[in-house]
Structure 1
Amino acid sequence: MVPVTLAAIDSGLFRRVLRRHAAAVVVVTAPGPAGFTATSFTSVSLDPPLVSFCVSRTGSAWPAVSAAPLVAVHVLTADQEPVARIFATPGIDRFAAHEPLGTWHESPDGVPLLDGALAILICRVENQFEAGDHTIVVASPIDAAHHDDAEATPLVYHDGEYVALGQGASTGLL
């Protein structure tokens, strides 16, 4: 049994532990254009449909995301690792750097949409909650699209590296 303590763990141990958690890689975009790579995306509720993601308040995308009524969440394919790296790079024009890797366009509401994603959700921002140095954004999907290629695999972040989710996982129980 792990002993329970009331003190918080140090940030180094916290990072090492969280590196063991595999997470899907998404790029969140907002009008501006602005965008960032995240692994904090998750579904929150089915009724009503809600999703969430976390954004750093010190990141360059924060001003645009914090003011945006709509955002887009792009679930990246394994082939889009370079896109994940670009949108994770601070201090650059991420949309200009993205152009050689793929195209993007604006939705009728001005939300940047990256072509080639495994899935895209366009979401209305419902709530924002401060949490440490990040803000948790809760959003309601209002439109969605997904990749038609059944063989396309998602990009996953695990142990500090981008990896492709393996094919052929067992579907049965032991």
Structure 2
Amino acid sequence: MSVPTPPTPLVDADGDALRTLLRQQASTVTIVTAPSLVGFTATSFTCVSLAPPIVSFCSDLTSSSWSGVSRARHVGVHLLAGHQEELARRFATRGVDRFAAPTRWRPGPEGVPILDDTLAWMLCRVVDRVVVGDHAIVLAEPELLRHADVGSPLLYHRGAFTGLAATTDLDPRRASAAPRAAGSRRVL
């Protein structure tokens, strides 16, 4: 059994301290696209409501994409697959044409660019934008969506891209029900 590491001392909750704390949260990596051929990598995507269906993401007000997102009636939200780290990096880089090769995409409904081979994507109608500090929270209603039946998401954790571990179920009572490779044995 491992011994937990001692907690760090209490600090004031300023922007830098909050950023450090949030590095402990693993987030699904998404790319948001808008009809004016703008897009950016975001880890702030979340479901807000199921009835009615509403999702959200945040955008930095100083980003080069905000101008296009701030005017868009529809956006695309793409959940990246584990193998799409380079695509995530491209859409997080300033000063590059994010839609140029090697990015593979096609025009989708409402003129929203749809990225190829993502784990999932949805076309969303923007219902509100709420400016809070240096970001805007964009609230959007999914209208169309598509997802793969296989694959794992690209995650962002502790300042780096990562993926899910091969075995995520560590409960030994449930592990016995999982198929094992020939010649392998379960260790409790």
Indicate whether the TM-score tops 0.5.
Answer: yes
- The residue that corresponds to 1:144 in the other structure is 145
- The residue that corresponds to 1:62 in the other structure is 66
Identity %, equivalent residues: 47
- The residue that corresponds to 1:12 in the other structure is 16
Kindly provide the amino acid, as one letter, of the partner of residue 165 in structure 2. Answer: G
Q: Which moved more, 1:13-22 or 1:120-129?
A: 13-22
1-structure distance, mates of 2:126, 2:57: 11
Q: Cα–Cα, structure 1 residues 171 and 71, in superposed 2: closer, same or farther, change >3 Å?
A: farther
**Runs (4+) off by over 3 Å:** 171-174
- The residue that corresponds to 1:72 in the other structure is 76
After superposition, give the CA deviation of every residue in 1:111-146 in whole Å (9 maximum; x if it has no partner): 000000000010000011001100000000000001
Give the SS at the match of 2:87: helix
Give the SS at the match of 1:95: coil
What is the deviation of 1:108? 3.4
2-structure distance, mates of 1:103, 1:168: 31
- The residue that corresponds to 1:31 in the other structure is 35
- Equivalenced residues, count: 165
- The residue that corresponds to 2:122 in the other structure is 121
2-structure distance, mates of 1:11, 1:123: 30
Q: TM-score, normalised by structure 1?
A: 0.89
1-structure distance, mates of 2:72, 2:14: 33
Give the SS at the match of 2:99: helix
Q: TM-score, normalised by structure 2?
A: 0.82
**2:109–2:123 contact (8 Å) kept in structure 1:** no
Q: CA RMSD in A?
A: 2.0
Superposed counterparts of 1:37-48, under 5 Å:
37-48=41-52
Q: Cα–Cα, structure 1 residues 146 and 171, in superposed 2: closer, same or farther, change >3 Å?
A: farther
